[in-house]
Amino acid sequence: MKLIIDAGNTTVKIAVFKGFRLLEKETLDENQLKIILEKKIKKYASISSVILSSVSKVEKKAFLEVLKDVEVVELTKDTKVPFHNLYTTPDTLGVDRIALVASAVSKFPQKNCLIIDAGSCVTYDFVNKNKEYRGGAIGVGLQIRYASLHNYTANLPLLSPKHVDSFVGNSTENAIHAGVSLGMEMEIKAVIEDFSHKYPELVVILTGGDAEFLSKRFKNGIFVLPNFLIEGLNHILDYNTNT
C-alpha cells in the first residue's frame, strides 16, 4: 500500500492507494499533518512507501519521524518520471505540474494531452503523444481574481464565484462575476480551441479545486478528474519503487 502527501498552496491532501485504487483521501491543514499521518500508519500497517510533493514550505522534520520505517520519495526535479521533460528551466518547474503530466501519460498513453489545473493558480500543461512535456502557462486562479478586486480597490466587494451568462453586467456584482468567472471560462475555452486546432485528437483534462464549478460551463468531451494530481503522484511513486 502507498501513502500520498500533496502539500499545496493552501491545504495538504493525504491519500492511500492499494495498487492504483484510491482507498481514501483527506484534506487538512498543515498543523494537523503529523497527527493524521500517525493515524494512517496505524490504520494501514501495510503501507510500504510514501511520496511527498510540496509547493509550500511544509515543515518536513515534523512528520518524517513518523515515516521512519517506510520508504519515502520526495518529488523533485531529479525524481524519475515516466515522460521526457523538455522544460528549459526544470529547477523552477512546480512539482504539482510534474505530477499532472505523469498522470496524463499514464492514463492517456500515446495521446496529446492538455491539462488544466484550476486551483490557486490556473495552469495549462501540454504533453504530446510521444511523452514529451513541452511546457505550458501559469495564470491567476479564480479565487485570487475575486480577492484581488476586493483587496486592491477601495469599494469593490469580495464575492464568491457565480456563473453569469452575459459579459454585460447590469450591477456591480454582476459586472465582477462577468469579468472574473465568465472571463476565466472564456479564457479556458480559447486555450482549448487553440490547442484543438493544432492537435485535432487532443485530450483535455480539467482538475483542481475549482474544476467542478468551471466544468458546468463546458461541453462534453472534457475529462473532469478531481483526483488527477494525487493519481499522478501515485504513478510516480510506483515508477520509482518498481522500476
**Catalytic residue IDs:** 96
The residues, any chain, with a CB within 8 Å of residue 16's CB and separated by 6 or more, are 1, 2, 3, 4, 22, 23, 24, 25, 40, 44, 47
Are β-strands 71-74 and 49-54 bridged in parallel, bridged antiparallel, or unpaired?
Answer: parallel
Which residue has 464549478 as its cell numbers? Answer: 213
Give the angle subtended at the CA of 122 by the CAs of 138 and 205, to the nearest 5°: 110
Query: Are 37 and 58 contacting, i.e. CB atoms less than 8 angstroms apart?
Result: no
Gap between the terminal Cα atoms of the chain: 16
User: Judging by beta carbons within 10 Å of its beta carbon (0-12, 13-18, 19+), is residue 202 exposed, middle or buried?
Assistant: middle
